Chains A and B, each alone.
Chain A
Amino acid sequence: MRRLQVLLCSGSACQSAGALEVKKALVEALTELGLTDEVQIVETGCMGPCELGPILLVYPEGAYYVRVKPKDAREIAQEHFLKGRLVRRLLWTGPTPEPRTIPFFARQKKVVLANCGQIDPERIEEYIAVGGYEALAKALTRMTPEEVIAEVTRSGLRGRGGAGFPTGRKWQAVREAPGKPKYVICNGDEGDPGAFMDRAILEGDPHSVLEGMAIAAYAVGAEKGYIYVRAEYPLAVKRLEVALAQARKYGLLGPRIFDTDFSFDVELRIGAGAFVCGEETALIASIEGRRGEPRPRPPYPAQVGLFGQPTLINNVETFANIRHIILNGGAWFAQMGTATSKGTKVFALAGQVRNTGLVEVPMGITLRELIFDIGGGVPEGRRFKAVQIGGPSGGCLPETLLDVPIDYESLKEYGAIMGSGGVIVLDDSSCMVNVAKFFLEFTADESCGKCVPCRVGTRLMLGILERIVRGEGREEDLLELERLAQLVREASLCGLGQTAPNPVLSTLRYFREEYWAHIRDKACPAGVCPDLLHYDILAEACRACDLCRRACPTGAVQGTPRHPPYRIVQELCIRCGACLDACPFGAVVKRPGRKG
């Protein structure tokens, strides 16, 4: 073992921020200083705090270096690696450099993400060294399939893909379904905007998913599995290819695993850009090489699934939980969380929050703890307005609901859903009507078009929202929106349509006055909708410097240099905001509503 271990986060986010260039610079610096035999650099999966990337975690000190640039590499190598002095200016610190004391980590409970950021995902040996494939060995050699299912049932684990169906019950249904062969599918078609935990798990700890699939296959009586990953995740695809090859080489996939009668192998399938394929029946159609369109259920995939055979389909995070349940027992898992939602959940924090990234917490913590204690709250000078949770199927919750515990039932009660765990924090610069419109645009675009309520209903709702943000809203629009929402929700074929109205319904429920401001006052209180705001120049602040006039693309700003004040001709103004950005004196202001 070498003197120092440098873990370099090389998840997609850190790579896009330049992690590999940092690695190159580090290797050069180490070579130059003759330290290559003493310092080991390990590329790991996602460590969590994405906005701080590229990130280095140096052991044994446990020092986090954040926002590292290639030019910092030499200093870190020289000061820290050679002379043993921490480079304080790059250090991410809590009270001590120890990671556990950093608030971002202190409140987290890492189960599924325990290996992400700690091991090299492209080396199966590292996974095995931390207990990898032990759960599979235990299941195959010391447990019957029924016992495995009983343990999963006892854990209370529910599907992490969104709907929250009890996992043990699903496994039982597939086991009991008549017909052979049976299949196991891992749904890695993570498409919810704002959710990226499955990507992080596949990139950072791919074997944990394969191990979960193998245990599931043993439990339900399947010999073949498919893992379906969206084409937008090339790094996850690459790491899975490596993992599959290594698992086969070690005999952990393939014939007669651990010298038992159980054989299992997994085939990787790549999507081609269709959000609806995250829906289980659509995903099955896609694996079969057809259009990814959903079909009515029942029959459920447990009875009639892939190629018409009984099929178990679970999400990435669900499978990644399995090994922990088998090793530590269902009772251990069930200790975490609430009465109906057990274990931990990974959330992807994004939006107007200080610490963005991936966090794993026990079910049942409040939104406030998640967003403020772990996420650090909204950046300086802004005010928290809402949290969008559950992606396009989820909803927007206001500040008054921040103390709601995060579990499947509570979120649903208030009009959001757990979904896959995407959390987008919105501050007072966001217009809730516009946010609702944005999510509906997404679902309307992604609607596969097979059923009328979803295809036409989402378009009709979108039309109304577009009118409202243009300032052409009518009094009766809100009731009409609610009526349509009800229809789309009840009559759509699959989960995409059934949940598509949620962003609209939840904003109508909690931010109705904002809709009224758009409709009655023709004003966008957040100053977002260009048709419902105007720019003005404060006469007393204007110095007639002429910058705004020069910035204006339409000649709407008029005035003569050194003769204040300037003024804006509203009829010519396209409300692009160029004058506001150009003014050094704060004389240009944006106001809700139209002028006059």
Chain B
Amino acid sequence: MTVEKKAILQKYPRAPDVLLALLHELQRANPQNCLTPEDLALAAAHLGLPLARVRDAATFYTMFSLKPRGKHVIRVCDSPNCHLFGAWSVVEELQRLLGVGVGETTPDGLFTLELTSCLGACGVAPVMMVDDEVFGNLTPEKVRRILGELRGGG
């Protein structure tokens, strides 16, 4: 167990109800943006839960990934309103620029492309979220610019 993970575990009481929060934090701490088998085992041991129960939760929620992901997770809103306003052209442009399909990660490990349900920014559809930041009024051109900045700024 790394020092970092130990520090994370110590923040949480031995109570099953903090499981989701703990999984979120373990996932964030992983450079590959995912939960490893070790993470799940650590969470189970720390909270005194069967491993199956931890896996059960980790696989139920779409925001947890057991598969390695990129440094940045790009999530395009695929809800009806964004769809009306051209979400799919945004997805196609991202697929073209990144060279990967939805659910895949670029070979350099920088980006994972995902779809998400409504981000609640319907007034500025179509919308996507990169990590914790929301981008609205997207056009293929704007997507190119945002991606360029992300690549430039690391």
Contacts and interface: CB of A to CB of B under 8 A. Distances in A.
Interface of A: 12-13, 15-17, 49-51, 53, 190-196, 198-199, 231-235, 269-275, 286-293, 307, 348-352, 356-358, 388, 422, 424, 426, 430, 435, 438-439, 442, 446, 448
Nearest to A199: B120
A197 to B, nearest CB: 9
Interface in B48-67: 53, 56-57, 60-64
B120 A190 contact: yes
A193 B117 contact: yes
A442 B121 contact: no
B124 A53 contact: yes
B134 interface: yes
Contact of B17 (A231, A288, A438): A288
Contacts of A15: 134
Given A289-B47, A350-B122, A438-B80, 9 more contacts: A17-B137, A50-B122, A191-B117, A232-B129, A273-B62, A289-B18, A292-B60, A350-B125, A438-B83
Nearest to B128: A16
B16 A289 contact: yes
A17 B24 CA distance: 28
Contacts of A195: 118, 120
A277 to B, nearest CB: 9
Nearest to A388: B80
A203 to B, nearest CB: 10
Contact of A193 (B16, B23, B80, B136): B80
Contacts, number: 144
Contact of B118 (A16, A191, A357, A438): A191
A13 B124 contact: yes
Contact of A17 (B64, B84, B124): B124
Nearest to A15: B134
A435 B80 contact: yes
B69 to A, nearest CB: 14
A229 to B, nearest CB: 11
A16 B117 contact: no
A583 B19 CA distance: 57
Nearest to A48: B123
B21 interface: yes
A269 B79 contact: no
B80 A234 contact: no
A291 B56 contact: yes
B123 A13 contact: yes
Contacts of B133: 16
Nearest to B137: A17
